[in-house]
Chain A
Amino acid sequence: MTSITSISVISKLIATPAADVSQVAQLPGMHWASFIMWMPLISLALCGICSAFKVKTKAPAIITIICLATSFILTLLLWQGYQDPEIIHVFDWLKIDWEDGSFIANFAFYVDSLTLLWMLFVTGLGTLIAVYASEYMEHDVGKGYTRFFAGVSVFLFAMTCLVMGDNLLMLYLGWEGVGFASYWLIGYFYQRPSAVAAAKKAFIVNRIGDVGLALAIYLIWSTFGTVQYDEITSALGSGYKPTFDGWTVQAIPYLLMLAAFGKSAQLPLYVWLPDAMEGPTPVSALIHAATMVTAGVYLIIRTYPLFMLEGSHALEVVAWVGGLTAFFAATMAMAQYDIKRIMAYSTVSQLGYMFLGLGVITSYGAAYHVFTHAFFKAVLFLTCGAIMHGFAGQLDLRKLSGLRKMKGWKIVSYTMLIGCLCLAGFPFTSGYFSKDVILAEAFVTHGTGFVFLGWLAIFTAGLTAYYTFRVWFRVCAGPVHFEPGDELHGKEPANFHPHAPRIAINFVLVAIALGALLAALPYFIPNETEGIQGGWVAEMIDDSPAKKGVPGVDLDSSHGDILGMDPHKAMYYISAIVGFVGIGIAFFIHLLSRSTADKLRCKLLSNRTTRWLPTAMENKWYVDEIYIALIRSPLWILGKIFSLFDRYFIDGALVNGIAFIPSLVARWFSPLYNGAVQSYAISMIGGAILIALLMLFMPEIVEFLQTLSPPIGSDQSIAVVGGAQ
């Protein structure tokens, strides 16, 4: 076990560097690929300059779009030239050596196919959403506009750092960075108390997960002696010394899981995500739907080997948490009226699917679902944003109807339809394929209750189809009818005219909707790599830890079945049927006879035995209230006690007391500093004589001290004074 006896900055000059380059190819320092990361930073700097010069134009948006687009093009180039996993070394960041160990975290990028997959949609969607936001945020041109794009730049920088870093420390840096950017952007409307509260909630809930990540990194380093991905993998392969009877190694996946659940809004830490919708909609689309919230999935895929250790139940826990989150979030989404909140709960639910996929060992399925979900959820959020933008903040689905028949809202309606189809898992859309991989694998893999989870997930898929089309049928179909929201800026509600989105928003909607449709193609594009099925995506992630669960790779394991059929094939039919049922119910009660839904609700409410169901669902199963009662209130009381303790004991008695002592001492000495040369001279000479006498009679003094306290030996009393020997 490495122990830090003395961390000396200088000692690194004497110790030899312990960097052991493994088989992964290392690329030289100033590689052009590092500009994928620097471009958002440059954009941030330029936005800062814009802010300093109080720019009142759309310049920050243009700067950000250009920088992010450059990032995206560079990512494309990197992907085009990609052969094998490689490490791009940018610069030495942290390197501490001592006798029997080292801590090395270079500023380097680990580029494998998983990184590229993530980077492609992060930078690509980032660019498109920046274009969207350039129109969406235009009411705030001036200071707020710059602040917004600066925040987006920070986010993209942190996200690239998180995804591209070659070690856990860089991931941690990015992890905290995206958390900060998320806080920054949720609290964008900082004059609104609810936005500030939501920003704080997101940040604080994420802290809980971050503690897990910090502990996990520490345990990984203390167990394997490194935080670099490739070295961890090779250490796992070549054997390592289990510490503390091996429980630390077993604890690592649970801690990583905690971090992932916090960032990706899973039970029990999901509560921040619905509130995070207080931020501007492009932020919800980019950060809280497409990219940042998938960081948890990325983290687990990256560290997948640690979850697959002998005798570990970590993946089963992931599966259960994911499956239950998917289900509960879907039920909550069913009973909401705010369409943006519905999308938020649907995001939580879909993230639950991804974790279910990870848990049932199809990281391929999870990665593919992340990929497709990024597109269709982005388009859904962006259409919600366009509606909110056009109807003065109106998001209540009861107060909007028949959008597709209104002039200028066709693109919004039909892109939203595409998004809804994908989310509902309509056959041959991207969501259909990616979800099926996960659902089928739940029946293939053996684990505690996986079959139950599989059925639960299928049922949830039906719920998903229902609540998704509840939104679409209510808002976009039916007779034309609308009420404006409360952001009228002084206009009379009677004179209100919705303003339809213009070119930038429409262009982005169409582009991302096309992306959502085309995301189904990679499933079919034949690949050149031998031995794997599953198309482009499978090939894409072939050399990364996300390879697990690619159809055709792990076929040697005994295969489960579903109703006597091969799960992969059966799932095509089952999920299509479930999807149709869900859409059909939504069609019936939200389009054909809209009063049915209300009648059903009234009936359920009037019946004593079923009253709890709609109430609980509408109140989000009272989870927020439970958290307040169980966690927030006790903490608040504790905090109050601490605050009083701090004020009266720490500040009052300790701090002021301690500060009082030195000043008392200083006052005591101050007569010495009376400014007279003579007294200074006497003090100096007196001091010199005292020191000389002290030194001369030191043996006697030591002897005297020994007689005072016999137990303390002479060695010790000298050692206290000068321990150099």
Chain B
Amino acid sequence: MTDRLWFLIPEFILLAGAVVCAIGGLSNLAAIRRKVGFVACAFLAASCIAVPFVYDPTRVAESPALLPHVGGYVKFFAALTGILLVMTSGGLMDRKYEHAIASGKDTFDTLRSSAGEYHALLLLSITGVMLICEASDLIWLFLALELVSLPTYVMVAMSRWSKVGQEAAMKYFFLGAISAALMLYGFALLYGATGTFNLNEMAVVFAKQRFDGGIVMFGQIGLILALVGLCYKIAAAPMHLYAPDVYQGAASAVTAFLAFVPKTAGMLAIIILLSLVGWEGGLPKSIEMMLWVVAVLTMLLGNIGALLQTSTKRMLGYSSIAHSGYMLIGIIAGPPLGLIAVMVYLVIYGATNTAAFSTLASLSRDGKPVDSLQDISGLVKSSPAAATSFALSCGSLLGIPPLFGFWGKLMLFAVGVSAGQLPLVLIAAVSSAISAWYYLRLIGLALLSPLTPRSETVRVTLRWPMIAAILGAIIAIGGPIVLESLITDAKTAFVEPE
């Protein structure tokens, strides 16, 4: 059991960070309250540093988790992207309230302060992602997934004190509950089909069933329902409908969070569930066909849906749906190359997508958040740095060749082709071409268009999100330099070290 705990050290660090943030945010001293973001970053960094020590190859061999190696990669990059996400949230919570207190117009009231809670919830959600890596049975997996989701519902609600935000939170919560129910029902059926909750034992039972002529019907339905439930986490069809509304309703920083953390959790959980039946000899026909249909629908609905939007955040929301579809290609292709490609893509997508939302988070128009496409028109004139980083991150998301996103997409498509999924890759390429239309429109609006009456007053008002956006843009340009080592890292997650 001590071995088990050893691998949870990064999680414990974040847990401690969450407690410190929650308490520190309630301090009477403004100086301490303001440092909450730095504290969160420090704990994330500590957790990040701890990962290489924790994942010592000799120890990993004894881990009871189903995918013992995956944690070393995922935890490291989850914590690293977490730092970027905390930076993106800089200045989001309590800014006006703290101003009022500082100028003496208001007094500090613990009930009205929320920065500490926000950062605590953020850390807890990332803790959930890390815990998924260590899943050894279905209960653990379910609880970890819920730990990812529950804080996000609250974060959406508290990020904007407006009806839009509340509405988004309610939608997100209710629909999330439905998906969790579906997933849980699927888990119950899986238990029924195998008689065990333990993932390792379950994998053995499934292997035996496949050897005997096929997985029993219960098992197949259970797996399908669980996967459909997980589609909610990755915002894939048919569970994607909430995404545009919620992404638009939440503050940009939280949207960036939603587009990365739950998606990573969902992808990991899907990989774990599929590892139960294994890719050797191909996924079961029904599962593979289901994933195929989901991938195609997700890519097409995401990219086509984005075409009609007039809201930047909604457009990026649809685009993040489409990215889940691309990643499903890697999932279908299977280990090791497909899963490596997915893991690498998650990191690339996480960094560049966060950069795009960070730009939006850093801007404001007369104190109001920026949303409509007209708001970013001619951004280069008021803020060249914001416009450039936005254009670079959009270019990377689209996959313009030298940028980081291109290599991610290339890898996914290449593994798709080598796994014999040419039709799927062709559909992905076509939908990717469709996506060029709106990404280039965003880039063109930011860099080439004239100022509009709406965008004249748009200014960069928040420093930290801007820094996060610039960092993301630097990753989009400079990322290809470290691509090879990134691939090597991802390889250790799925290929047994020799």
A residues within 8 Å of B by Cβ?
A: 6-11, 13, 659, 662-663, 665-667, 669-670, 672-673, 675, 677, 680-681, 683-688, 690-692, 694-696, 698, 718, 720-725
Which A residues touch B407, using CB under 8 A?
Answer: 9
Residue of B at shortest CB range from A720?
B423
**Contact pattern, B 165-178, Cβ under 8 Å of A = 1, otherwise 0:** 00000110011001
Q: DSSP majority for the B interface?
A: helix
A677 contact set on B, CB distance < 8 A: 170-171, 174-175
The answer on a CB contact under 8 Å between B241 and A692 is no
A501 to B487, CA, bound (A): 61
Question: Chain B, 279-320, contact with A by CB distance < 8 Å: what is the 0/1 string?
Answer: 101110111111011100000010111011000000000000
Question: Which of B170, B174, B290, B491 meets A681, CB within 8 Å?
Answer: B174
**Smallest CB separation, B311 vs chain A (Å):** 12
Residues of chain A contacted by B283 (CB below 8 angstroms): 722, 724
- Complex partner residue of A724 from B174, B286, B333, CB under 8 angstroms: B333
Q: Is the CB of A723 within 8 A of B423?
A: yes
Secondary structure call for the A interface: helix
Instruction: List, in ascending order, chain B residues with CB within 8 A of A9's CB.
Output: 407, 410-411, 414, 487
* Cα distance, A624 to B240, chains bound together (Å): 63
Residues on B with C-beta less than 8 A from A10 are 337, 340-341, 411, 414-415, 487
From A665, A669, A724, name the one whose CB has the most chain B CB atoms within 10 angstroms.
Answer: A724
Does the CB pair B237–A695 fall under 8 Å? Answer: no
CA distance A720 to B424 in the complex (A): 9
Q: Looking at the complex, which one of A669, A680, A691 makes contact with B224 (CB distance below 8 Å)? A: A691
The interface residues of chain A lying within 8 Å CB-to-CB of B364 are none
Given contacts A7-B414, A8-B415, contact A687 B308 (CB under 8 A): no
Question: Given A681-B178, A685-B178, A673 and B238 touching (CB < 8 A)?
Answer: no
Residues in B whose Cβ lies below 8 Å from that of A685? 178, 182
Most buried by B among A681, A686, A696: A681
Which of B's residues lie within 8 Å of A, judged by CB? 170-171, 174-175, 178-179, 182, 217, 220-221, 224-225, 228-229, 232, 237-239, 241-242, 244-245, 279, 281-283, 285-290, 292-294, 301, 303-305, 307-308, 332-334, 337, 340-341, 407, 410-411, 414-415, 417-423, 434, 437, 484, 487-488, 491
Residue from the list B289, B303, B491 in contact with A13, Cβ < 8 A: B491
Please, how many angstroms separate the alpha-carbon atoms of A13 and B337 in the complex? Answer: 10
Which chain B positions have C-beta within 8 A of A725?
Answer: 281-282, 420
Instruction: Check if A6 sits within 8 Å of B417, measured CB to CB.
Output: yes
Q: Is the CB of B285 within 8 A of A662?
A: no
Name the contact of B305 in the complex, choosing from A669, A681, A698, A722 (C-beta under 8 A).
A669
Q: Which of B178, B241, B488 has the most CB of A within 10 A?
A: B241
With contacts A13-B487, A659-B437, A684-B175 taken as known, whether A667 is within 8 angstroms of B414 at the C-beta atoms is: no
CB-based nearest B residue for A662 = B304
- A368 and B160 CA atoms in complex are apart in Å by 77
Q: Considering the chains assembled together, what is the distance between the CA atoms of A11 and B237 in angstroms?
A: 31
Most B CB contacts (10 A, CB to CB) among A9, A681, A692 go to A9
Cα distance A545–B290 in the bound complex, in angstroms: 62
Most central of B174, B285, B292, B332 by chain A CB within 10 Å: B285
Q: Are A722 and B292 in contact (CB-based, < 8 A)?
A: yes
* Cross-chain contact B421 with A688 (CB below 8 angstroms): no
B294 to chain A, nearest CB (A): 7
What's the least CB distance linking B48 to chain A, in Å?
A: 24
The docked-state distance in angstroms from the alpha carbon of A718 to that of B284 is 12
Q: Name which residue of chain B comes closest to A9, CB basis.
A: B411
Q: List 20 A-B contacts (CB under 8 A).
A: A8-B418, A10-B341, A10-B487, A11-B418, A662-B303, A669-B304, A670-B308, A673-B241, A681-B178, A684-B178, A684-B232, A684-B238, A688-B182, A688-B238, A692-B224, A694-B290, A723-B421, A724-B283, A724-B332, A724-B420
Separation of A692 and B229 alpha carbons in the complex (Å)? 12
Q: How far is the CA of A690 from the CA of B297 in the complex (A)?
A: 13
What is the chain A residue whose CB lies nearest that of B337? Answer: A10
The answer to whether B491 touches A680, judged by C-beta atoms less than 8 angstroms apart, is no
Q: Is the CB of A683 within 8 A of B238?
A: yes
CB nearest to B419 among chain A residues: A724
Q: Are A675 and B420 in contact (CB under 8 A)?
A: no
Q: Are A691 and B294 in contact (CB under 8 A)?
A: yes
- Asked if A686 and B238 sit within 8 Å, CB to CB, the answer is yes
Q: Are B417 and A688 in touch, CB under 8 angstroms?
A: no
> Does the CB pair B420–A687 fall under 8 Å?
no
Identity of the chain A residue whose Cβ is nearest the Cβ of B217 in the assembled complex: A696
